[in-house]
Amino acid sequence: MWNRRKEDEIALKPASAPPTPSVLAKEGIPMSTLPSRTASESHVETHRGQAVLGKSVIVKGQIFSREDLTIDGEVEGTVELQEHRLTVGPNGKVTASVKAREIVVLGTIHGNVETTDKIDIRKEAKLVGDIRTARIVIEDGAYFKGNIDIVRAEAPKPQPAPAPKPQPVASAPAPAVAPALAAGAGDHKR
């Protein structure tokens, strides 16, 4: 009987079917602790350690990322990747202010852009907005309209060597005052 029940359970619960929310609710498993990604739900996927917004994704709001991000859809708002790279793919359309360590533009950006390292504008790209960066690379065929401010990180100035503290000078004993010669001794008075 044990084996048969086990077989029945296996037959009733095929391994490939994910638990439905109603089943999970009955079993008392909070859904928030379960991985929420399924193939049909989200077009956001991680690929090789970076996040990707596919070309059918539209985001209106603020994006903060702690990993490299590729945008191939539409984003409106702000995008911040402090120490990472943002790639705007050929289908990407970003209407936002953007801050990142590095930005590669193959699509379109309307907005001000700030990078700590480099911005790379490829030949089919379009960027309208001000750029503030340490380095810029722009290919022939790219369209750019805006200000360019190159901000190079200053090399740390060498700290001046601290002035040596004056060493206390050991006080020399005061020269003994030669005792007055005894009268008559060595004194020739005329």
Partner 1 sequence: MSILDLAGANQATISFLTGYGHRLFSDDFMHQLDECFGEGDFYANQANPLMSGKFLDTALGFGDGLFDGALVWDTLQFLANPLLQTVVNKLHRVLRPGSSMLAFFHAEERVETIPTYSYRIGDHRTILLQGRGRRRPAQFFNNRSLEKMFQDFESVKFFLTRDHLREVIVRR
The footprint of partner 1 (CB under 8 A) covers 121, 136-140, 142-150
Separation of alpha carbons 104 and 78, rounded Å = 16
- From first CA to last CA, the distance across the chain in angstroms is 146
Nearest distance from C-beta of residue 141 to partner 1, angstroms? 10
Q: Which residues pair with 105 in a beta bridge?
A: 88, 121
Residue 12 corresponds to which amino acid?
A: L
Residue placing its CB nearer to partner 1 in the complex, 24 or 128: 128
Cβ 149 to partner 1, closest distance in Å? 6
CB of 117 to partner 1, least distance (A): 15
Q: Would you say 65 or 144 has its CB closer to partner 1?
A: 144
- Hey, how many other C-beta atoms are within 10 angstroms of the C-beta on 74? 20
Place of tokens 């480099």: 118
Which C-beta is closer to partner 1: that of 29 or that of 137?
137
Minimum distance from residue 152 beta carbon to partner 1 (Å):
9
- Nearer to partner 1 (CB atom), residue 81 or residue 127: 127
Query: What gap in Å lies between CA 136 and CA 120, rounded to an integer?
Result: 6
